[in-house]
Structure 1
């Protein structure tokens, strides 16, 4: 739970806009942000002209805008993704200076890469950084980005999708632990992805891609596999659940679809693992207390 955690929240409220304005008035925050004055004027105009409580559609003009929030859902920065053809550009700012040095930027970069490659289907992700911005350069380079080009005003770093997928399997993100899925579960879940539709289905695809794949007869008996039953602690609530395919889901009976928020979250984790997971409107703190039943451990390989 002490690992740096960032979720990218797509809903932008008036409160978020006011927070953004505060950040953009800090010269230390905007020192290397080339369009900070333009952004600040835009936000000021929006707040003065529009009285809506949710401003997401205005911030998403010309790209996708996300508030970067910590494990308490407190905004600490923002990420903007702009796609042009097969390429996508990422702009990242940690606006709360007290959080500098906590590696939250690295976590935000990993979340941005997930969205760019799995949700937006980019083939190449680009970050354009001022040469003197040593902190950002280090964060992107440590995340696997490679130098691409340079001018007196900008260093361009790049991440290709093939390189990203390789790193995803080799180097877990700062706030995640390794997960395991069986060969059979992976094949079935990949077939499911070809037909399933949903706003957050890319999260399941991401988890499948980063998972360590094991033989069903070799998987540890305390890992949550498909059709397992587990005892969870979700925030302060204890829940007994079964992880099932969408056609078998029945939330009232505790049968959670692997495509649901908590269903995707617990896939591949083992008893004792604790982690944060962003649901549509809040971050949940999840702990796998115990695996009560696992098909592979019971010899039920037909499930």
Structure 2
């Protein structure tokens, strides 16, 4: 079974908090969560004390908290990342027992690694897991984590940034297709990343790192490269877009910045590819219908 789509959202709503409380009342869910009682009590106090629809800032005290959503935007769990100097620790919970065994955990680990290494710039990511929590141990080990130390109460598994980058290039995620980027586009986008700031830029860096790099004169003509125009199916809507650099972006003219959600999403995919991608507040289901114009295919290598 392929690993399902999971996205991590940093915004925590009041409804999310109520869902978390329901999960934490299940003893099977909290069995291996060391601070579950404290967390549940804290959430209950927050809900009773604060009459706000968005509670993100309260959940990010002492670390970063993310709700995990499936492709239908239904919450399936949460991930907490705590920075400790150059390193980071990950806590992962899949909250509904009906979702256990469906590989949501592996998908959430993958997204957590992306955030830890590309956005939080961790040198090492650590997971501390109870020895009897076999399901969680196997999920982290299959994701490439290595055993580091062990006590009767905890096994510590670790992923270094160097190992993560190597695995990202060698072992593409099973839920996504290969993507392709030309040598010229990669160099230009690398320079862009060094200058740009924003919440989406780490997604672009991740895509560049996992992409297969090709000679501009040998890239297939049905691949979306920079300055390509393509016909997309976004959810139920057909749209024509051009993939451009930020300074040329114009949403009204269908010119999408490569730093935007859908702009980053389509880079490197080819005709017929279909995939899910999280943009703020929702998941988009995207299909590359047709590449209408590609600079490399047209011989416009100056673009």
TM-score bin (small chain): over 0.9
- Alignment match, 2:83: 83
CA distance in 2, matches of 1:123, 1:284: 31
- Alignment match, 2:144: 144
What is the TM-score when the length of structure 1 is the normalising length? 0.98
- Alignment match, 2:53: 53
Paired residue secondary structure (1:194): helix
Paired residue secondary structure (2:158): strand
- Alignment match, 1:158: 158
Structure 1: give runs of 5+ residues left out of the alignment.
none
- Give 1:199 shift: 1.5
Paired residue secondary structure (1:118): helix
Runs of 4+ in 1 over 6 A off after TM superposition: none
Paired residue secondary structure (2:181): strand
Structure 2: give runs of 5+ residues left out of the alignment.
none
C-alpha root-mean-square deviation of aligned residues, in Å?
0.8
CA distance in 2, matches of 1:250, 1:144: 41
- Alignment match, 1:193: 193
Q: How many residues are paired up?
A: 302
Q: Is 2:33 the partner of 1:43?
A: no
Q: Is 2:176 the partner of 1:181?
A: no
Q: Within 5 Å, give how 1:203-222 maps onto structure 2.
A: 203-222=203-222
Paired residue secondary structure (2:195): coil
Whether contact under 8 Å (1:107, 1:173) holds in the other structure is no
- Give 1:97 shift: 1.0
- Give 1:196 shift: 1.0
CA distance in 2, matches of 1:41, 1:102: 29
CA distance in 2, matches of 1:9, 1:175: 19
- Give 1:247 shift: 1.0
Q: Within 5 Å, give how 1:165-176 maps onto structure 2.
A: 165-176=165-176
- Alignment match, 1:113: 113
Q: Within 5 Å, give how 1:1-303 maps onto structure 2.
A: 4-303=4-303
